[in-house]
């Protein structure tokens, strides 16, 4: 037994002849080591777990790709689990990941950071920490100092600020803001950036131009149709996500408004097909893949040595395409 183990591990002198015999036996018996036994006796690095609402969304898929990439490059496996937004399932998954001895558990996706949420996260963080794992929050607000968790954010506020500034610089005074759900952290941040840009350019805020809703195509479509029906006056739209922008585009087109001739449009996320829309969409790029990679990197670095950052904010960037033009 010992000799086989050492032959396969290659960390101990084994004579050429013995090695050959071992290999022959391995071959003929189709022998493979048993990870569980190996893990029990302590020689296996735990996997990285990604907990996500729905892997199907283009931006989340990129986060997943980043996580997988960084994990494999460090010799870890990636577990992917979806919650479909169910908090109870999230609880179960945290427990499951403690059992699995996951090296890191990466939670992704928008969230309403109320008290219940913070309590839940603090509990997750402590539970995972006690099990030698690490909670990583991606695209979610940071937890109170002292909580054993790592947070990787991106600059929602700055992105929205850039987007609105771009529209204002083009001469648009009445910008329809199609935000996200009130309370949702990223939606609030994006809205703040938008408002800050208005203030910076001394453009008064008008409540009727600030229309919240969900981050979906349908919601974007409905909201634009409704404001058009109501006869609202605007020359540009800042959509809280590219999905919303796509819905808005459809509604504008139905109303015979051409983008960007009649109405300018800016999205948020830079999904891959943004460039294939007509017109191609000016939008804010979020470094999703980089978010995933960073999440894993920070968590594992901290495991291997002590130290490293626990909170990082990645920057976003306005990508200028064809959907913005000065108002007529």
Give the residues lining the site for DNA (CB under 7 A). 1-6, 8-9, 11, 13-15, 17-18, 31-34, 37-38, 40-43
Among 37, 87, 169, 320, binds a copy of itself (CB under 8 A): 37
Is the Cβ–Cβ distance between 193 and 249 less than 8 Å? no
Q: Which does 166 bind (CB under 5 to 8 A by kind): a copy of itself, DNA, none?
A: none
For residues 128 to 167, the per-residue mask of contacts with a copy of itself, x marking binding by CB under 8 A and - elsewhere, is --xx------------------------------------
The first and second tokens of residue 17, run together, are: 């002849």
Among 20, 273, 304, 315, binds a copy of itself (CB under 8 A): 273
- d(CA 244, CA 180) in angstroms, rounded, equals 9
278 binds a copy of itself, rule: CB under 8 A:
yes
Q: Which does 43 bind (CB under 5 to 8 A by kind): DNA, a copy of itself, none?
A: DNA
Helix ranges, 74-155 (H): 87-99, 115-130
Q: How far is the CB of 157 from a copy of itself (least distance, A)?
A: 27
Q: How far is the CB of 214 from a copy of itself (least distance, A)?
A: 17
- d(CA 67, CA 295) in angstroms, rounded, equals 7
The first and second tokens of residue 173, run together, are: 């005074």
Among 198, 249, 299, 300, binds a copy of itself (CB under 8 A): 249
34 binds a copy of itself, rule: CB under 8 A:
yes
- d(CA 178, CA 208) in angstroms, rounded, equals 11
Q: Which does 311 bind (CB under 5 to 8 A by kind): a copy of itself, DNA, none?
A: none
Farthest-apart Cα atoms in the chain, separation: 88
Among 4, 8, 45, 55, binds a copy of itself (CB under 8 A): 55
> Residue for token digits 């108002």?
327
Q: Where are the beta strands (DSSP E) in the chain?
A: 48-52, 78-82, 104-108, 135-138, 149-154, 175-178, 210-211, 236-239, 264-266, 283-285, 311-314, 317-319
| Residue 225, SS3 per DSSP | helix
| Residue 38, SS3 per DSSP | helix
Q: How far is the CB of 48 from DNA (least distance, A)?
A: 21
Q: Which residues bind a copy of itself (CB under 8 A)?
A: 30, 32-40, 44, 47, 54-56, 58, 61-62, 64-65, 68-69, 72, 77-82, 95-96, 98-101, 127, 130-131, 217, 246, 249-250, 253, 271-273, 276-278
């Amino acid at each position: 037994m010992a000799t086989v183990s050492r032959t396969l591990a290659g960390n101990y002198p084994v004579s050429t002849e013995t090695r050959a015999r071992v290999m022959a036996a391995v071959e003929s018996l189709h022998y493979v080591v048993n990870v569980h036994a190996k893990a029990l006796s302590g020689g296996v690095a735990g996997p990285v777990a990604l907990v996500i609402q729905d892997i199907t969304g283009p931006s989340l898929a990129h986060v997943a790709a980043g996580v997988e990439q960084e994990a494999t490059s460090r010799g870890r496996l990636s577990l992917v689990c979806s919650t479909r937004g169910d908090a109870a399932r999230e609880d179960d998954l945290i427990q499951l990941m403690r059992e699995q001895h996951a090296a890191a558990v990466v939670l992704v996706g928008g969230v309403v950071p109320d008290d219940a949420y913070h309590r839940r996260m603090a509990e997750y963080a402590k539970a995972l920490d006690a099990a030698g794992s690490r909670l990583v929050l991606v695209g979610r607000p940071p937890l109170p100092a002292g909580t054993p968790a790592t947070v990787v954010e991106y600059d929602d506020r700055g992105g929205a600020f850039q987007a609105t500034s771009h529209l204002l610089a083009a001469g648009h005074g009445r910008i329809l803001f199609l935000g996200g759900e009130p309370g949702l952290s990223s939606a609030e941040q994006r809205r703040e950036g938008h408002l800050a840009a208005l203030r910076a350019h001394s453009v008064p805020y008008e409540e009727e131009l600030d229309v919240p809703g969900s981050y979906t195509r349908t919601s974007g479509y409905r909201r634009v149709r409704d404001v058009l029906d109501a006869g609202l006056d605007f020359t540009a739209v800042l959509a809280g996500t590219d999905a919303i922008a796509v819905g808005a585009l459809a509604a504008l087109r139905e109303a015979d408004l051409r983008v960007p001739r009649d109405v300018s449009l800016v999205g948020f996320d830079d999904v891959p097909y943004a460039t294939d829309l007509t017109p191609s969409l000016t939008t804010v790029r979020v470094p999703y893949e980089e978010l995933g990679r960073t999440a894993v990197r920070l968590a594992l670095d901290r495991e291997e040595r002590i130290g490293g950052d626990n909170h990082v904010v990645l920057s976003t960037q306005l990508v200028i395409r064809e959907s913005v033009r000065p108002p007529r």
